[in-house]
Amino acid sequence: MEIIRLPDQLGTVLRAARIRQGLTQADVAGQLGISVQAMSKLENHAGRASFDRIHRLCLLLGLDIALQPRAGKASPKATKTTVEW
C-alpha cells in the first residue's frame, strides 16, 4: 500500500501502477475518454486533478482509495460542530 502525503506523490504512484500493468498513456486516455495530453497532465499534476478524475483512473487501474488516521497523530476528541461547505 502506498501512503501519499503530498499532492505531487499521487502522480508518481498512478504512473507506476499504469506502467506495471503494461499500459501506455494512450491506452488509459482512450479508456477514460480524454486526450493523451490530458493524461500526461494528470500524471504530472495529479494534485490539481478533480477527485472524480482521480477516482475514475484508480478504478481503471484497479486501485482503491483509502483514508486512514495519520500514524502518531492523536485524533481530536469528538465535539458537536457544524461544518459548512
The pLDDT score that the predictor gives to residue 34 is 96
* Domain coordinates in residue numbering, the chain: 7-61
- The CATH number, out of the four listed (3.30.70.890, 1.10.260.40, 1.10.1060.10, 1.20.970.10), of the domain defined by the range 7-61: 1.10.260.40
The pLDDT score that the predictor gives to residue 74 is 61
Percent helix / strand / coil, the chain, rounded to 5? 55, 0, 45
CA-CA distance, 11 to 46, in Å (whole number)?
5
What is the pLDDT averaged over residues 30-37? 97
The reply to whether the predicted model has a pTM over 0.95 is no
Residue 78 pLDDT more than 80?
no
In terms of DSSP H, where are the helices of the chain?
A: 7-20, 25-32, 36-44, 51-61
Cell 494512450 sits on residue: 26
